[in-house]
Amino acid sequence: MEVQRYAAEDACQWDDFLKASKNGTFLFQRGFMDYHADRFQDHSLMIHEDGKLLAVMPANADSSVLNSHGGLTYGGVVSGAKMSAERMLAVFDALGVYLRAAGFTGVNYKAVPYIYHSQPADEDIYALFRHGAQAVRTDVSATIAVPRRLPFGSGKKDGLRKARKAGLEIRESTDWSACWTLLTQVLDDRHNARPVHSEAEIRLLAARFPDQIRMFGSFDNDRMIAAVVVFDCGRTVHVQYIAASEQGRLKGGVDLIVHHLLDTVFTGSAWLDFGISTTDQGRILNTGLAKQKEMFGARSTVYQQYRWQLT
């Protein structure tokens, strides 16, 4: 088994492998990963067996530590449908040899949550255990099982009634300027924060992945008062951003968008994931935020991180 560092000329092979993998999403495609290449020293890996690509690992180097991946919500070893538990053990054996020879002392490993798997793909979790890795962080997300979704809570049902009474209209939009103005204002006012992506970055990524990165707005007389940005990862739709003006909150703008996504747009998806509600390395649960997501019928999914010490 051979481990090699990813190079730019491998982009097509990398992307083709990801599209056929059982636990990869478009976030691992080079067109997405490379948008912030100036902020992360890429050290992604490709694992071959008998001349065939067996697995890839999106990663960046931070001094003597390999992060998989520092700029993404999750990372880890991405494999094809033929990957077995035994072969994954061999993959990790080969990774350990390569990483030690390259001078790395440890790996920070963000496993891909199972809701993003197209087939069961927890072979890496077992391999991490066998190599003595320790779970160091657990974040809690909130996820809706779309085909078997639970009913909205009373507060969200009230929001739907208000939205319908106000005559709000939901439609897909590419007005990123309006969305980012709204989102930036809300994050600044309520959380003293900014979006992870700048408007220029989200425009770039949406242009590269128009079928995956989509924005839906709630409009009151053609004025956007709420917006939801989603990343469509196939089986799972991830809610990346939610924003609402004061009028949007009073009139249930977000509630109507989420209902529309579940009832009309993503009826064929398995999961709709709202993302994590934890801070401080997973130690603090934002109970108010978690409750808001749970009122849509979402329940807990964990995002797990591991530390694999190599020395």
Cα 309 from Cα 306, distance rounded (Å)? 10
User: How much is the pLDDT for 191?
Assistant: 77
The two structure tokens encoding residue 69: 């991946």
Q: List Cβ neighbours of 163 (8 Å cut-off, separation of 6 or more).
A: 218, 251, 252, 253, 255, 256
Single-letter amino acid, residue 260? H
* Phi, psi (rounded to 5 degrees) for 45: -125, 150
Backbone angles phi, psi at 82, to 5 degrees: -85, 0
Q: What is the residue whose two structure tokens read 């209209």?
A: 169
Q: What is the reported pLDDT for 38? A: 86
Mark 199-237 as b/e (b = at least 16 C-beta within 10 Å). Answer: eeebbebbebbeebbbbbbbbbeeebbbbbbbbbbeebb
Predicted pLDDT at 190 = 81
d(CA 224, CA 179): 8
Among 3.90.1200.10, 3.30.470.20, 3.40.630.30, 3.40.50.1000, name the CATH number for the domain at 144-302. 3.40.630.30
How is residue 293 written in tokens? 């997501």
Give percent of the chain with pLDDT exceeding 70: 100
Give the residue from 79, 97, 99, 100 showing the smallest Cα distance to 88: 79
Q: Which residues pair with 138 in a beta bridge?
A: 304
Spatial strand order of the sheet with 45-49 comes to 2-5, 45-49, 52-57, 78-79
Structure-block tokens of residue 112: 């891909």
What is the per-residue pLDDT for 120? 97
Tell me the per-residue pLDDT of 192-243, one tens digit each, with 9 for 90 and over: 889 999 999 999 999 999 999 999 999 999 999 999 999 999 999 999 999 9
pLDDT for the residue 188: 86
pLDDT for res 277: 96
Domains 2-132 and 144-302 fall in the same CATH topology? yes
pLDDT tens digits for range 140-163: 999 999 999 999 999 999 999 999
Q: List the one residue out of 1, 231, 188 whose CA is nearest residue 95.
A: 1
Adjacent-strand bridge partners of 46: 4, 56
Could you list the mean pLDDT of each consecutive 10-residue stretch along the chain, which spans 311 residues? 97 98 98 90 97 98 96 96 97 98 98 98 98 98 98 98 98 96 90 89 97 98 97 97 96 99 98 97 96 98 98 90
Give CATH for domain 2-132: 3.40.630.30
pLDDT of the residue at 236: 98
DSSP strand pairing (271-276 vs 236-244): parallel
Domain boundaries, the chain: 2-132, 144-302
